[in-house]
Amino acid sequence: MTFESLNVKTETIRALEEQNITKPTDIQKMTIPFALEGRDVVGISKTGSGKTLAFGIPILENTKHKEGLQVLILGPTRELAVQISNELKKVSKYCKKNFATIFGGVAINPQIDKLRIADIAVGTPGRILDHVERGTINLSKIKCVVLDEADKMVEMGFIEDVCKILNKMPRDRQVLLFGATVSDEIGRLKKNYTSNPEVIKGEVQVKEDFLEQYYYDISSSEKFSLLVHLLKKESAEKAIIFCSKRTTVEIVVKNLRKQGIETDMIHGKMQQNKRLKVIENFNKNGSEVLVASAVAARGLDIRDVTHVFNYDLPQDPQEYIHRVGRTARAGECGKAITLLTSDDHPIFTNIINRYGLDINVLPKESFPRLRFDARMNRPRRFGNGRFSKSRFKNKKRSNSDHRKRSKNF
């Protein structure tokens, strides 16, 4: 299925293609037709499944430029509001729309100016309600309201603000309600604020109740010792240790093996079929510990994981969610532990705020300091100063090959 077959405008498709978005995701396929028709939609699917464009594309198609504020998108956090605005601005590159991004903690006057000319407003409930009460947002022409991450908004205590805002809008507006988990709260919002909605369920997110999340403050030089200590202490039945780089994966694996810990690894330099074999083996209980670079683990079916360790903190909030989502699947309990160095704190705070996560600090404890060999097993040097792995794989390289190569330098 393509965006064309979903009756998306050529201008939008062009902007999407420029971002390498060519095929709709499942939630987009199912949502776009109903939302374009003006139907209410309740869409539940896990983080990263493309919900923003599932509501964003139909909104852009149905909104006119300079005819007043027609769409209000509400989300739980400032970071999310900014992210939604940025994404929709990119997609509306060839069909211009005015956006106002509204959140608290910053001056209100520039927002008032933006709201006067906005076609679409994206914001957090608190500050939007503030504008409603000051009379600086005109909701009388609203045709569509989106509640994004509605489950989070309820959890974070914004429900009353959201309801007050909804009550100030025309009755016949369209409501698009999105979330990552099936919850009673979403059920209530659906009952009270949508009419005859189309309910769409993709793959849902694990409920955070089953997932315990922790972090531990540690210096880089002690990370490895702590990791080994935690692996033993937690008696992790099946653990994935995520590292940001392939080299870290290799170094951590080498050191774990020196400690007598049986472990396997996957990283981006491995062929896909080799990766699949490793996963198959891991799923069959071949080893209890898998060290992985996040990129390599994407899309692979890794089962029954009891513990996720972030040896390195991912830079991207969504990546954090993907990683910890590897455990606590199918109603099982799981634990995610992130090893944080002092440099990581700003990014970690951003991740917590972005998703309103509840991550507890682990108490300090004493653990034995282990030897950690931070060197890579480097391939030996060529005479001409270049590194080459293939030299060792292909011992039969002829002399003429050597000559040909040397000429190039």
Closest contact distance (angstroms) between CB of 90 and Mg ion is: 15
Give min distance, CB of 278 to ligand ADP, in A.
26
Residue 104 C-beta: closest distance to ligand ADP, Å? 22
Q: Residue 50 binds what, of Mg ion, ligand ADP, none (CB under 5 to 8 Å, by partner type)?
A: ligand ADP
DSSP state of 327: B
Which lies closer to Mg ion via its Cβ, residue 51 or residue 323? 51
Residues, the chain: 409
Range in contact with Mg ion (rule: CB under 5 A) among 46-54, 66-74, 250-258, 292-300 = 46-54
Residues 192-221 that bind Mg ion (CB under 5 A): none
Closer residue to ligand ADP, CB minimum distance, 24 or 314: 24
Question: Does residue 51 touch Mg ion according to CB under 5 A?
Answer: yes
Structural contact between residues 59 and 143, judged by C-beta atoms closer than 8 angstroms: no
Q: What are phi and psi of 317, to 5 degrees?
A: -55, -40
Main-chain phi, psi angles of 263, to 5 degrees: -150, 155
User: Cα(73)–Cα(59) distance, rounded to whole angstroms?
Assistant: 10
Q: Which is nearer to Mg ion, 45 or 63 (CB)?
A: 45
Question: What is the smallest separation between the CB atom of 371 and ligand ADP, expressed in angstroms?
Answer: 41
CB of 201 to ligand ADP, least distance (A): 13
Q: How far is the CB of 31 from Mg ion (least distance, A)?
A: 12
Distance in Å, CB of 331 to Mg ion, minimum = 23
Which of ligand ADP, Mg ion, none sits in contact with 76, Cβ below 5 to 8 A by type? none
Q: Is 282 exposed, middle or buried (0-12, 13-18, 19+ CB in 10 A)?
A: buried
Instruction: Give the nearer residue to ligand ADP in terms of CB position, either 52 or 263.
Output: 52
Residue nearest to Mg ion (CB): 51
Q: Under the criterion CB under 5 A, does residue 322 sit at the interface with Mg ion?
A: no
Binding-site ranges for ligand ADP (CB under 6 A): 21, 23-25, 28, 47-53
Q: Please list the alpha-helical segments (H only) found in 259-316.
A: 272-283, 294-297
Beta carbon nearer to ligand ADP, 51 or 246? 51
* Residue placing its CB nearer to ligand ADP in the complex, 21 or 129: 21
Q: Which does 124 bind (CB under 5 to 8 A by kind): Mg ion, ligand ADP, none?
A: none
Neighbours of 341 (CB within 10 A): 15
Cβ proximity to ligand ADP, 102 vs 321, nearer residue: 321
Work out what residue 23 binds among ligand ADP, Mg ion, none; the CB cut-off runs from 5 to 8 Å by kind: ligand ADP
Note whether 264 and 290 are within 8 A (CB).
yes
Q: Given the structure tokens 């209890």, which residue do they identify?
A: 288
- What is the residue type of 180? A
DSSP per-residue string spanning 207-274: PGGGEEEEEEE--GGGHHHHHHHHHHHTT-SSEEEEESSHHHHHHHHHHHHHTT--EEEE-TTS-HHH
**Amino acid, res. 288:** E
Q: How far is the CB of 247 from ligand ADP (least distance, A)?
A: 26
**205 or 327: CB nearest Mg ion:** 205
Our finding on whether 354 is near Mg ion (CB under 5 A) is: no
Per-residue CA distances from 142 to 64, 75, 92 (Å): 12, 17, 19
CB atoms within 10 A of CB 65: 11
**What are the residues binding Mg ion (CB under 5 A)?**
51
